[in-house]
Amino acid sequence: MTFRQIALAAVAHVALGTAALANPSFDNTLALNDGGLGNVLEIMQPATMSGNSVSITIEGESNGGLGGEWRTPELFSGFLEPGNIEQTGNGNVARLEVFGTSNLFSVLQTGSQNSVSGFISGSNNAAAVMQVGMGNVAQFRQVGTGNTLAISQSSW
């Protein structure tokens, strides 16, 4: 199975003013907009699947947390590590906007017709979403400092 992997590392100062692969006729769609420093994440979408889409906007600093650890590991046990976004299957859509600093997040979708939205602002927030089955929808919103969220949906 072939995966597309994208790592945003502002340590090497990869400024992604706008990077887009956004033709809906292709199997996978990816759009990124990064404006801060130290934002690190990894996005994997199987190239052989159809209908995957991800759109991420990050303007703050030190968001994502790839290679880091959850601040509350007991709550996020079993979820992806921070900074990982992974989609497999058909019709998956993930949209995430982060504007603050030092926010951790991860998303995993497996199956078909899944959708995740999101919005994180402020600082030191943590969010992890896991969807496995078919037809699941999750939407979250965090504003302020020190908020923690974990969503898990399964339907097989």
3-state helix, strand, coil in the chain (%, to 5): 0, 45, 55
Domain residue extents for the chain: 3-153
The answer for 51, left when phi > 0, alpha when psi is -120 to 50, beta otherwise, is: left
> For residue 27, what pLDDT band results from cuts at 50, 70 and 90?
low
pTM over 0.85: no
pLDDT tens for 91-125 read: 889 999 999 999 999 999 988 788 999 999 999 99
Q: Mind listing the pLDDT tens digit for each residue in 70-90?
A: 988 888 988 899 999 999 887
